[in-house]
Amino acid sequence: MLPLFHDFEGKTVVIVGGGRVALRKARTYTIEADVTVVADAFADGFDEVDCERRRRRLEPDEADELLASVEGDLFLVIPATDDRTLNDAIARAGREAGALVNRVDERGDTVTPARAESGTLTVAISTGGESPAVARHLRREIEPLLERTEPMGRLQADLREQLAEESDLSADQRRQALRRVIDDDGVWRALEDGRYEDARDRALEVAGIDPSE
């Protein structure tokens, strides 16, 4: 299994099941995708999720018909019921429809990782379905590091643009300059103190650009 980041904008995700796991999945994918959730009952919280809800009891032999009825670019199917036979049917129908499948009741075709995020930084953590608890633990451990690092990411983006526009450095020299900035304790201290402009001036000096220019 290989990690993969994918743009879900304009994609369709179908979730079958209305429990807490299905709710968590729906919250995740509605950030970008068009999500349809099918279940005979929905957990508290679905009212706050921007998704299409279809209240029906689905039988295994209706899985193909269900997926065929969903509009849009079907990209991901998530069987999230407590009925293994139904989950089997949904997974099969999803694969035959050319969609990815993320089973939540076992190690399936796709495992949605735990995510730690801060600003534009995202780290995905997966144990291959063996231990979601370990993935959640690692996420909690990593989140403070991302919060500390995110300002450096913004600074690096600003600096890359300025180096490309205002210096005669080669691409390799620009990469070396950016690495020197990351390794500089003074830049990190200024960022941790919330002094972004001071950090930027220090970074320019380390990179070999006069901040006053």
| Mean pLDDT per 10-residue section of the chain, whose length is 213 residues | 80 96 93 95 95 96 95 93 94 95 67 79 81 87 93 92 81 91 96 94 87 59
Angle at alpha carbon of residue 19, lines to 28 and 53, rounded to 5°: 70
Six token digits for residue 113: 């990782």
Q: What is the pTM of this model?
A: 0.68
Would you kindly state where each structural domain of the chain is located, as residue ranges?
Answer: 11-112, 141-207
Is 136 within 8 Å of 178 (Cβ atoms)?
A: no
Superfamily the domain 11-112 falls into:
NAD(P)-binding Rossmann-like Domain (3.40.50.720)
Per-residue burial over 66-88, b if 16 or more Cβ lie within 10 Å, else e, is: bbeebeeebbbbbbbbebeebbe
pLDDT of residue 146: 92
Residues with Cβ within 8 Å of 178's Cβ and at least 6 positions away in sequence, in order, are 156, 159, 160, 163, 207
**Which phi-psi region, left, alpha or beta, contains residue 114 (left: φ > 0; alpha: ψ -120 to 50)?**
beta
pLDDT of residue 135: 85
pLDDT of residue 58: 95
pLDDT of residue 115: 81
Rounded Cα distance, 94 and 101, in Å: 6
